Chain A
């Protein structure tokens, strides 16, 4: 009996359909919940915030959405230990809401995903996320092998982790650095980072491990047809590649 997963749609979200589809293909009971239906969020057991440009990325990506009514439910659910998973714009919203790394008060962010560097442009690039914590550190990564690589697409203007040195130290010391950018062979260096992100950060987790925020999109590399050269089996429609982290999330919800 698996729990019900809500995929949140803010005005400006643009990746909700493929996110729901991959969750379902990985065995999840997922559906879209729209910003004007926020009251229904109380009925769900887990939450996914998908990619896009919620509220047009005004002020800073995620800053306005972090104050949307839907986030009241997410903040409350996160405090109860329910799984919350943010991807790209969803990750930006979780940082702006202060849920990850979660080292400060709610809605007082201690770190942000902000303008890429050195070039402050949108970048669309295939990347690999490398699991940089013990899998059991987060319920959402618990079913992944240690050090696993998750293929994904970086596609953002504001994906560079920025924080004061003190808060960066906190992230490291508190074991919040869940994922770093890596080459396909697992090597980690500056060339693997598409956006100048501090600590090579591609993903952060909160203290309790139930809230995970990642910048790149595994759902855009989540089926065999997205990567025919690396396909597993001959069914174009089978989930593979980036689907690994979705499977792990679905297990955390079950």
Chain B
């Protein structure tokens, strides 16, 4: 008989109607362990209860998709090397709430978690990216500045120690994030398609061993899943700190390498096993899902869990979210060798206190999820009921497209405004930030972060195949129109990958929004999903994985700017053919390829001028044509350099090409003649050696490169070195 735990409901987020459903299903009151188990499993964080039915609209199959959303990470086909099919594993998550409360640890565990999501697919982790959204940091002593600093140092400390390079990311500073910073993380892995390990037990797994691996379970991170599904409240700050996990990248470094050794063992013996990251819901969430999704149940003995302190209550051991843990389900005959690899070869117990691999239970044919503690059954529920269907059909207000009347462009004083744009917090150099990240460990980096629009790796030893990664999501756009912002995020991430010469093969998304129980904020989410679906479908770019973060609002009820953030993965057949950074030669034609609708809405220029306007109009067919032109110019060998046009407008893209040339020791400037060079309408700036073969219906000649160290724009002269100085300094104050 399972004893009731209902007296302990004060610190769970389950609603009364949900509790009622549980009581009805069980035919009794839930135990304390069950109560916390349902609290975690039915949280927004785990169940996607108010987002899943909308997310179904996203294109998630076809093309290069090897595995779409549903497991811990998605998988995209990269290419063939040495007769083997290789794939890129990609995962994308938020760690917003923890990072707001404890910036360093919250962001570090964000990297830790996303890396495990990729690792557990049987992949070697090869790169990470970090889209960040911070509040205003003008006052370096402000809380916002300390969050911005702590987050970056947390990301760096973790990624650097485990030896995974940071190759892409972006950052915006906006008062809309003053009380809810966004910390999104993306990780990439590489796996042979034959060697993928799934997050569910295979057929015939009855009686298999459930093996917990990693850090000793401790009381940290208890209630993390439901904490992430609540609005942050300042009075609860101290309480919430206990819900944030403690990172241990040193242990993770060893855990990753030991797991690679186990992968090789299983490959050699042709054993199909299941492997899954412990995230939300801890041991319970992970072991319940990994078995239930294979159609099985599980019996777990909580007394066999390696713990850091004695006397923890069973619910803390069961659902606490201690970091650096993974779960294997293995045929019993291989278990001794797996334990030996973790515990003796890689000496986990010596690396961290009581860390180890240990058998904690087994798979059962009977589809019950059962936990025992000191001989007593403390949980006994139907696996499907625990891990399956929960859905909230919430009402939402449809977002009205903000049709701003077509504004007259103000006369733009380029001489005055362009330096201001380059110094703008959302345009200036990010180097002071990302130089705290190791961008080159693993020795596979082809294009480091910041030198081009996307990071590029040659991730497979001995292979010329490359993978490109870029992220996008402009909060100024989100504020004007979440649906259009989502489309623009897809386009910008795609363009950035194209600009380095890669072929875009798939997307991931992280949807950061306010409170889904407020119809207007929920409506913004729905509009963004629709936008992502439109763009992904029109561009034939599937979403391989994704994540939703709700409740990014303050107690006063103000939500963050709608923030659909997108990452795009690109494939490169031979890395030697990528587009190298910066202008290559004087006397080249400069073309603007793609959309160039001259509106200012959502631009840095609009902010500086204090004007409002519509977002640039989108034409997916024109976008596809522009990408085709760039790829064609590259294939014919006439494309010398290229940048996507984004924040700061066309002229910023031109300046970046000149800066990159300068950094490579080439003195090449440009002369530009174009009405408003500060518009952010999109498209590409391309330097071409010969424009004769280019379809000029989709391209406009805007100028040419010169052998002088200056940019001449509509007869206004700028010295490139001076512009570089203006652009490179601002963030160095925050990140000295």
Contacts and interface: CB of A to CB of B under 8 A. Distances in A.
Do A and B interact? Answer: yes
Interface in A201-252: 217, 219-226, 228-229, 231, 234-237
Contacts of B574: 236
A123 B436 contact: yes
Nearest to B439: A124
Given A12-B161, A14-B163, A51 B436 contact: no
Interface residues of A, number: 44
A124 B161 contact: no
A36 B437 CA distance: 30
B461 A236 contact: no
Given A124-B439, A234-B576, A236-B575, A15 B464 contact: no
A228 B575 contact: yes
Interface string A46-89: 00000111011000000000000000000000000000000000
Contacts of A21: 443, 461
B364 to A, nearest CB: 35
B464 A53 contact: no
Interface in A1-32: 9, 11-15, 17-19, 21-22
Contact of A11 (B254, B440, B576): B254
Interface in A132-181: 153, 155
A98 to B, nearest CB: 25
B443 A220 contact: yes
Which of A13, A53, A55, A235 has most chain B Cβ within 10 Å? A53
A97 to B, nearest CB: 20
A14 B443 CA distance: 11
Interface in B151-187: 153, 156-157, 160-163
A220 B347 contact: no
A18 B443 contact: yes
Contacts of A123: 435-436
B440 A155 contact: yes
B580 A228 contact: yes
B26 interface: no
A122 B156 contact: yes
A228 B443 contact: no
B438 A11 contact: no
Nearest to A35: B347
A34 interface: yes
B415 interface: no
B141 to A, nearest CB: 18
Interface in B337-362: 344-347, 350-351
A235 B576 contact: yes
B443 A231 contact: no
Given A11-B347, A224-B576, A226-B445, A53 B250 contact: yes
A11 B250 contact: yes
B377 interface: no
A121 to B, nearest CB: 6
A15 B443 contact: yes
A44 B434 CA distance: 39
Contact of A217 (B351, B440, B461): B440
B293 interface: no
B580 A14 contact: no
A229 B436 contact: no
Contact of A124 (B162, B351, B438, B581): B438
Contact of A237 (B157, B439, B442, B462): B462
A38 to B, nearest CB: 12
A119 interface: yes
A125 interface: yes
A243 B410 CA distance: 55
B576 A228 contact: yes
Contacts of B437: 122, 124
A18 B442 contact: yes
Which of B153, B437, B440, B575 has most chain A Cβ within 10 Å? B440
A228 B446 CA distance: 8
A184 to B, nearest CB: 7
Contacts of B662: none
B440 A124 contact: yes
B444 interface: yes
Interface of A: 9, 11-15, 17-19, 21-22, 34-36, 51-53, 55-56, 119, 121-125, 153, 155, 184, 217, 219-226, 228-229, 231, 234-237
Instruction: Give the top 9 A-B pairs by smallest Cβ distance, nearest first.
Output: A14-B163, A18-B443, A56-B250, A236-B576, A220-B440, A153-B440, A225-B458, A220-B443, A225-B575
Given A36-B347, A226-B445, 9 more contacts: A12-B254, A15-B441, A15-B442, A21-B443, A121-B736, A220-B445, A221-B440, A226-B443, A229-B580
28 contacts: A11-B253, A11-B254, A11-B347, A11-B351, A13-B253, A14-B161, A15-B163, A17-B443, A34-B345, A56-B250, A121-B153, A121-B736, A122-B157, A122-B438, A124-B437, A220-B440, A221-B440, A222-B443, A225-B446, A225-B464, A225-B576, A226-B445, A228-B576, A229-B580, A231-B576, A236-B574, A236-B575, A236-B576
